[in-house]
Structure 1
Amino acid sequence: MKKIILSALMLTGMLTFAQEGKLTVSGTVDVYGTVNTVDGPGAPGLLVDSPQNATMFGLGMANTIFTYETGKAGAVVDLAYGPRAADAAGLNGINQLYAYYSVNDKLTITAGQFNTFLGYEVISPAANFNYSVSYLFNAGPFTHIGAKLDYAVSEDLSLMLAVTNPHGNFGTGYGDEFAQLGAQVGYKGQYFNLAYGADGFGATDQLYLDYTGGFDLSETLYLGINAAYSSSSDAKSGYQGAALYLENSFTDTFSLGLRPEFFQFNGDANNDETVTAITLAANKKLTDNLNIVAELRYDSSDDNIIEYSTASGLFPGEDSVTAFTVAAVYSF
């Protein structure tokens, strides 16, 4: 009898919980196959921060997002596992974990761990046109832990202010580094981003400037743009670069894209090393949930900074690498 009563109480509580708020579950799963022109595994940008580990066939990441919203408040638990997630998602498989409160129709307060507001690309391959990521994506922060304010001034103009940990600090250690401050101004789909402060890796004055935006050149052709600059007097290093994203939809299920990119390290620590990359990608939707991405990418560097693996485990630099990758990305 006690078990029956307890089960009834639990069921009543679950029904009440479901009636008060809305729970949604979404996510992605991706796998790939790749070949290259060097003697060993590796494909730049394929596994985000460790491209030299990309094998002939491999796993990307499994991503599951739980969103619960009730009234003006909500919470997001974004879990990510796999080699790609291990490089970029942060602590213990947590890609994002935050709560938010909408003060009114214009102002929203968010606190927790959230993906960076810098840059054009994101961690999940389902949200990117290309399967591999750019050098600009790899160079900047992936996620932040802290709080931010988003304010919609109008339909066209938005503002954001953020105070976060140094982006390499996921709240598991202590240090005397000052927090990182962030800001964003968005106008008609163009976003100007700034972050300044400690980077969690020793620098206390790391500056990030970033422009992300794009334009519809026609009904089917889109041009995306990402340009960024970063520097630190403490670390005597930084980077600068730009990438274009040309994407044309030929049908509702097939599109082609071209991403040319130039990237350069700056400062005494890196000796102005440069790399260029040109990526041609084809996207084919087999179903509403399953997308196939075929990608041909050529990376070139006179400074031999392109990484790949050898049988001895060393990661020497290459002056150029061509990689062909086919990936399957399933979204639900």
Structure 2
Amino acid sequence: MKKFTIANIQKLFLIGICFGLSSSLKAQEAETTEVESFMSNFSISGSVDTYFRTNFNGLNKYEYNDAGEIIAAPQAPASSFANDPGFAIGMANVILGYEGEKVGFVADLVFGPRGEDAVFASAAPSNIVNQLYVYWNVSDAVTLTMGNFNTFLGYEVISPAANFNYSTSYMFSYGPFSHTGIRADFTIDDNWSAMLAVMNPTDWTEFNPYGKYSFGGQLGYSTGEGSAFLNLIYGEQMPLSDEATFQIDLTTGWDFSDAFYLGFNTTYNTTDGEGFYGAALYPQIQTSDSFAIGLRAEYFKELEDGGPVYGADAEAIDFTLTGSYNVGSLTIKPELRLDKVSNTASPVFVNSDLEGTDNLSSFVLAAIYAF
């Protein structure tokens, strides 16, 4: 039998150490590769926005009587966001995302007044979650998404960095903002797509306290020059009502040349006879690499049985002219807006003389930094 000497034991010990170090280095290399792979698919993006707003023919401050009571407030259109007087802030938006070959996630966080308005129906007043979802690319043709995602209806979106106009339309403001549920997106061919979804009541994004659900659908057509999407939503949206909401929406936009783009949105929304319909054109002209100018021309009509904004049978016209000047990642947007509201019991605006009027003209200067 061969005898082990001290020298043999030392050799075996050194071999063991080398083997252990080699295994450890391989494990570290594998971990490093995994981290590098994750980071290559991980992204951080978002935006920060702020603005100045003033009215030409309406109040820009609170008015008080001799007793110190407020008798009139600063005027603004009854559409979402960018309605505070003077210098004001929008929101800080941070989007964390991972896009793997098969799976991924998006965590979209918002801070500030615009973000708070966007998640108004959240159960927690301090909620900062704008979107929070995971997805699975089941195949090249099917993607499943589950969680909280911004609405697929309408032309405009919550993020100011993704809209041409800084203020928002009536149709966007009174349609859905966000949904929580599960959706399936289908790629039919190179041009056609479709989507089906089951969701909580609209804008109830954290959970479903009412046991009611809505259903969504979309049919899309896209080419290199533009796209068109027909969107549908149906379901019981009102927590204390058994009546279902139905909304159908067409959103489209096309590049007619390198310099001219035209977008169009029309929608119809009703809940037991109450609701609204409208249409808007979005022509835009690119005058140089750094400057563009665009118009939103919107007609908005509330139904005879009732509407969510100015009341039954009211109609509003919104003309918004916006310039967009890019300085690197910063976009500066000067904006002129005219709102005219008719068919109401009394004027909805008040001028600087505290007299009722059916129109309001305003100016906004916005600054948006996107990263």
DSSP 3-state at the match of 1:31: strand
Correspondence 1:229 to 2:229: no
Q: 1:60 aligns with which of 90, 99, 104?
A: 90
SS in 1 for 2:206: coil
1:173 offset after TM fit, Å?
Answer: 5.2
Q: 1:266 aligns with which of 296, 303, 308?
A: 303
How far has the Cα of 1:62 moved from its partner? Answer: 0.5
Distance 2:327 2:293 in 1: 15
Once structures 1 and 2 are overlaid, which stretch shifts more, 101-110 or 194-203?
Answer: 194-203
Report 1:47-86 matches (<5 A): 47-48=80-81, 54-86=84-116
Question: Does 2:322 correspond to 1:277?
Answer: no
Structure 2-normalised TM-score?
0.78
Corresponding position of 1:38:
58
Give the alignment partner of residue 288 of structure 2, picking from 214, 234, 251.
Answer: 251
1:219 aligned onto 2:258: yes
Task: Select between 214-223 and 245-254 the one with higher mean Cα deviation.
Answer: 214-223
Gaps of 5+ in 1: 1-10, 311-315
Aligned to 2:370: 331
Q: Provide Cα deviations, 1:50-107, integer angstroms capped at 9, x if missing partner.
A: x6x5121100010000001333000100001111111113540101000000011111
Structure 1 segment 287-306 matched on structure 2, within 5 A: 287=328, 289-302=329-342, 303=344, 306=348
Structure 2 residue runs without a partner (length 5+)? 1-27, 61-73
Q: Deviations over 1:147-167 (max 9, x none)?
A: 100011111100000100001
Give the Cα separation in 2 of the matches to 1:149 and 1:124. 24
**What percent identity do the matched residue pairs reach?**
40
1:5 is matched with none
Aligned pairs (5 A) from 1:95-110: 95-110=130-145
The answer to whether the 8 Å contact 2:166/2:366 transfers is: yes
Matching residue's letter, 2:204: N
Q: What is the SS of the residue equivalent to 1:147?
A: strand
Aligned to 2:58, the other structure's residue is in SS state coil
**Number of paired residues?**
311
3-state SS of the aligned residue for 1:68? strand
Matches within 5 A, 1:130-209: 130-172=165-207, 174-176=209-211, 178-188=212-222, 189-203=227-241, 204-209=243-248
For the pair shown, which has the larger CA radius of gyration, 1 or 2? 2
* Contact 1:46–1:54 (Cα < 8 Å) also in 2: no
Corresponding residue number in structure 2 for 1:25: 44
Matched to 1:199, the amino acid is: Q
- The residue matched to 1:141 in structure 2 has which SS? coil
Paired amino acid for 1:286: V
Taking a change above 3 Å as real, the CA distance of residues 46 and 286 of structure 1, as seen in their structure-2 partners, is farther
SS at match of 1:18: helix
